[in-house]
Amino acid sequence: MKILVAVDDSRYSQVAVALVAALRLGKKAKTTFLTVIPEHVFLGGHTLVDLPAHSTALKDQLWKAKEERASQLLAKLSKSYGARGSGVETMVRRGRPADEIIKVCRSIGADLVVVGYKGTTDAPEFLLGSVAHKVIKYAPCSVLAAKEEGKAIRRVLVPFDGSKYSDEVVQFLLRLPLPHHTEVLLMTVVQAFAPAFVKAYTLNLERDQQIIAEFQKAEEETAEQLMTEAESQLRKGGYEVSTMVARGDPSQEILRKAAPRNVDLVALGAKGLTGMRGFLLGSVAERVARHARTCVLIVRPPKK
């Protein structure tokens, strides 16, 4: 597995590195640490590159200072991480952080990119940083957004709807070397009985209640069937698995179930059964990534 870890001077970058270390990657994994030196845009859209020719010495001096600082940051992170036995490479790029991260993802064929929820340029009140949001939305591979500090991954919530994207989440977890005895909470959210009831409304209270009950029962049975195969695969992969069926709005239920169960990671597909073709990120995945208080893994099927 090829993993790209995008870092800066923010606290969340330290969280991201600790999170990757907690995965206990083997020697076959290839990990690349990337930091991007952002180009400050001045009034009128000018950058350091646009400085007059007589300012070349100043420009070179500024870039050299920035590159030295970036190299020191990477050296510090890779030194502590490299002791874990994984092959580590480092990269320094210039430009817009999100754009450069996505470019490097493509150039190295990354399977997973890890970013902090927020960076050094994001306001404290923002739930999700601008760079993280853009990477989650446009990255060509799966994205792990690091949020919580100092927590090992012991419990993972996996929303499952039977789509190819949720199937891929299961396969990704089987490839990802999470710690032994990690518990997976497999959940399905059902919500279709309401529109069905409106169409079948008969003005007969007893009959309408019976129709609703039948729809609910059929949906819950389907939900259990959907999770059976996924549960079997995860158990064979060494995970402890429990299942649950929730009812309501998918993103709200995912967020509501995660908090009281001390979930360390929410892992879900980039799109679901209702995701429209051509959309880079489904609405459920985007809402969960934005509002979750825990780490979020957005899984995309590998490019063929």
1-150 and 151-304: identical CATH topology: yes
Three-state secondary-structure class, residue 121: coil
Ranked by mean pLDDT, the top range of 47-51, 222-226, 234-238 is: 234-238
Q: Give the pLDDT band of residue 16 (cuts 50, 70, 90).
A: confident
Q: Is the pLDDT of residue 25 over 80?
A: no
pTM metric for this prediction: 0.81
Spans of all domains in the chain? 1-150, 151-304
Q: Is the pLDDT of residue 270 over 70?
A: yes
Fold (CATH) for 1-150: Rossmann fold (3.40.50)
pLDDT at 111: 94
Given a contact cutoff of 8 angstroms between Cβ atoms, the answer to whether 86 and 17 are in contact is no
Give the full edge-to-edge strand order of the sheet including 2-6: 87-94, 30-37, 2-6, 112-116, 142-146, 295-299, 265-269, 155-159, 183-190, 240-247
Dist. CA 205–CA 237, nearest whole Å:
48
- CATH tag, 151-304: 3.40.50.620
Q: What is the pLDDT of residues 133-180, one digit of tens each?
A: 899 999 999 999 988 765 678 899 999 888 888 899 999 998 887 877
Token pair in block for residue 61:
């001096």
Q: Is the pLDDT of residue 3 over 70?
A: yes
Q: What is the mean pLDDT of residues 254-274?
A: 84
Given a contact cutoff of 8 angstroms between Cβ atoms, the answer to whether 297 and 266 are in contact is yes
Q: What is the pLDDT of residues 106-139, one digit of tens each?
A: 999 999 999 988 645 544 444 456 888 899 999 9
Q: If you ran DSSP here, which 8-state letter would residue 50 be given?
A: G
Give first-to-last CA distance, the chain, whole Å.
15
